[in-house]
Amino acid sequence: MLALALIICFIVTVLITPLVKRFAIKIGATDKPNHRKVHQTLMARLGGLAIYIGFLVGFVLLQPNSEFTLPILIGSFVIIVTGFLDDMIELSAKWKLFGQLLAAGIVIYGGVQVQFINLPFDGQLQLGWFSIPLTLLWIIGVTNAINLIDGLDGLAAGVSSIVLITISSLAIMQGDLFVASLGVILLGSTLGFLIHNFNPAKIFMGDTGALFLGYMISVISLLGFKNVTMFSLLIPVIILAIPISDTLFAIVRRLVNKQPLSSPDKSHLHHCLLRLGLSHKQTVLAIYAMTAFFGLAAVMLAMSTLWISMIIICVIIIAIQLIVERVGLVSQDYRPMLKFLRRFSAKRPLKYEK
* Residue 199 in marked binding region: no
CA atoms within 13 A on the CB side of 233: 18
How far apart CA 148 and CA 40 sit, in angstroms, is: 20
Distance CA 63, CA 1 (A): 11
207 among annotated binding-site residues: yes
Q: How many angstroms separate the CA atoms of 30 and 259, rounded?
A: 28
Tell me 112's DSSP state: -
- The string of DSSP letters for 213-273 reads HHHHHHHHHHHHHTT-BTTGGGHHHHHTHHHHHHHHHHHHHHHHTT--TT---S-SHHHHH
Distance CA 264, CA 203 (A): 22
Q: Smallest Cα–Cα separation from 100: which of 113, 86, 114, 110?
A: 86
DSSP annotation string for 74-98? HHHHHHHHHHHHHHHH---HHHHHH
Feature table: binding site for Mg(2+): 147, 207
Feature table: binding site: 147, 207
